[in-house]
Amino acid sequence: MTVRLVGKVAIVAGGAGGIGAEICRRFLEEGARVVCADKSRSRAEEVVSRLAGVDGAVSFGELDATSPESWNALAADTVARFGHLDILVTAFYSGPAGSVADLSDAGWQACFAATSSGVFFGMRACSALMRAGGAMVNIASTMAHGGAADNIGYSSAKAAVIAMSRSAAAKLAAQGIRVNLVTPGMIQTWALDSTLRALAGAAGSAEQVRQTLVGNVPLGRIGQPVDVANAVVYLASDEAAYVTGAELLVDGGTRTA
């Protein structure tokens, strides 16, 4: 098997989440040294412990994605420990669900605090220290394209991630840094389970909602975190050396239906 990330140092921000943890695992399999960065030390250290047996090296990095200072410290510490930084992945979100009718001012602001502002702070901090040949992969959402009646803050913040990633790709190309997007549809994580329960409400079941949603996916299933992680590995690797400003949909064909 080709090991595509040997010699690379990667920060996976949101590494304690369902998708983030799988990205950490796949990066390790591909030979990278990985900083699993997250606000939750307990969850991130559980991921680090679980992945300790995978080839490569993984360690915890403390990160408050809403804080520019926290990002600056994480990037600087990573370079101090490993000598360089090659890859940044942002896989996190913040804020409550809500519609245009009922999302509060504070809720709206919270949706952008990490989901979009955090991505900007991360790209800015890491681009200042990342060496030529580096790659950034930001995780967006299909909700950024179609909107979400009851999740206006999240869908809007993820739309901002798409725009800022393309803007950064245009600017950072001169430094030899690529910036791309992976845009998942429905992916099996604890967050999806919570959403299904909320959509079901008191009258129905989460499983009924799941089956209805699966019926709208041309490939006929809900995606797994590894489906997203494999796409991220490609964009982070030198196999995608001529790819920047691109968006890779990982949605089972939903956007084409």
Q: What is the CATH number of the domain that holds 14?
A: 3.40.50.720
Q: How far apart are CA 180 and CA 187, in angstroms?
A: 19
Q: How far apart are CA 96 and CA 140, in angstroms?
A: 17
* Buried-exposed string 141-161: b where 16+ CB fall within 10 A, e elsewhere: bbbbbeebebbbbbbbbbbbb
pTM of the model: 0.94
Number of C-beta neighbours around residue 28 at 10 A = 22
Would 255 be classed as within a structural domain? no
Phi, psi of 159 (to 5 degrees): -65, -40
Phi, psi of 219 (to 5 degrees): -80, -5
Claim to verify: residue 66 and residue 48 sit in the same structural domain: yes
Name the residue type at position 158. K
Would 143 be classed as within a structural domain? yes
Number of C-beta neighbours around residue 111 at 10 A = 25
Instruction: Identify the pLDDT of residue 32.
Output: 96
Catalytic residue positions, numbered: 154
Half-sphere exposure at residue 63, Cβ-oriented, CA atoms within 13 angstroms = 35
Instruction: Identify the pLDDT of residue 60.
Output: 97
Claim to verify: residue 16 and residue 76 sit in the same structural domain: yes
Would 204 be classed as within a structural domain? yes
Collapse the DSSP code of 34 into the 3-class scheme (helix H, G, I; strand E, B; otherwise coil) and give the result. Answer: strand
Q: Which residue ranges of the chain lie beneath pLDDT 50?
A: none
Claim to verify: residue 129 and residue 218 sit in the same structural domain: no
Instruction: Identify the pLDDT of residue 190.
Output: 78
* Positive or negative torsion for Cα 58, 88, 71, 142: negative
Would 256 be classed as within a structural domain? no
Instruction: Identify the pLDDT of residue 203.
Output: 54
Instruction: Identify the pLDDT of residue 199.
Output: 65
Claim to verify: residue 80 and residue 169 sit in the same structural domain: yes
The DSSP element (H or E) to which 37 belongs, if any, is: strand 33-38
Q: How far is CA 182 from CA 81, 84, 128, 215, in A?
A: 28, 24, 23, 23
Claim to verify: residue 173 and residue 130 sit in the same structural domain: yes
Q: How far apart are CA 58 and CA 52, in angstroms?
A: 7
The closest alpha carbon to 122, from 144, 141, 143, 139, belongs to 139
Claim to verify: residue 115 and residue 18 sit in the same structural domain: yes
Would 4 be classed as within a structural domain? no
Task: Tell me which residue range forms the domain holding 218.
Answer: 189-222
61 Ramachandran zone, left/alpha/beta (phi>0; psi -120 to 50) = beta
Claim to verify: residue 76 and residue 199 sit in the same structural domain: no
Domain count, the chain: 2
Would 64 be classed as within a structural domain? yes
Instruction: Identify the pLDDT of residue 195.
Output: 72
